[in-house]
A and B are shown apart, each in its own frame.
Chain A
Amino acid sequence: DIVMTQSPLYLPVTPGEPASISCRSSQSLLNSNGYHYLEWYLQKPGQSPQLLIYLASDRASGVPDRFSGSGSGTDFTLKISRVEAEDVGVYYCMQALQSPRTFGQGTKVEIK
């Protein structure tokens, strides 16, 4: 199985400031088609996870442009350009390259 490792696991943030979460995979997530099969999800308190980013850097429909994904190979980053109060929750990366799909441990984002 591909192991996904996130850091930090806890991230206190100040509204209006940027934030960044790292996700590392135990093997490259580059598919032979040239795409990296890495996704980011946000689970807000008391809610189901929601898709933020797919193919490492494509924002899902309705996701604010303050969210961006980047990275390649085994190292990926989710950035929030200016954190808003509604961004609190647990962020998960997930690899979709091979089965079984595996998630990172989650990064809890809270307002300072």
Chain B
Amino acid sequence: QVQLQESGPGLVKPSETLSLTCTVSGGSVTNNYWSWIRQPPKKGLEWIAYVHYSAENNYSPSLKSRVTISLDASKNQFSLKLSSVTAADTAVYYCARHSGRGVGGGYTAYDLDYWGQGTLVTVSS
């Protein structure tokens, strides 16, 4: 059973960099795409970025200038860095796996089939 666990500081000061790590167990980070999603308090879900072992990555345009996503296969982890944070970046941050499941015709779906429990990051001085 695949499990994902987010870790990192729960409190970050404004203008500093938020750094989170997602540790994957029960599977290898080399086999799938991996994403970060966030949810501000009492609000909906926002996709941030995804990464693949091949070094392919993709970012939400609204955050692209401040976000870096990376993968460390040796530790079976992937990470998120968000720079110049403000109070608007306060949210629960989730890591998730893209299934990469094969479907008819040789095509692939990339739904988010496993999620971490989420970690609350508060931006405050």
Binary flags per residue of B99-125, CB closer than 8 Å to A gives 1, else 0:
101010101011111011110000000
Given contacts A49-B45, A49-B94, A92-B45, whether A54 and B115 have CB atoms under 8 Å apart is: no
**How many B residues face the partner with a CB closer than 8 A?**
25
Residues of chain A within 8 A (CB-CB) of B26 are none
Verify if B60 is at the interface (C-beta below 8 Å from A): yes
Chain A contacts with B in 40-81, Cβ cutoff 8 A: 41, 43, 48-51, 54-55, 58, 60
CB–CB B105/A48 < 8 A: no
Nearest CB of A to B89, in Å: 17
Complex Cα spacing A31 to B84, Å: 36
- A interface, CB within 8 angstroms of B: 1, 31, 33-35, 37, 39, 41, 43, 48-51, 54-55, 58, 60, 92, 94, 96, 99-106
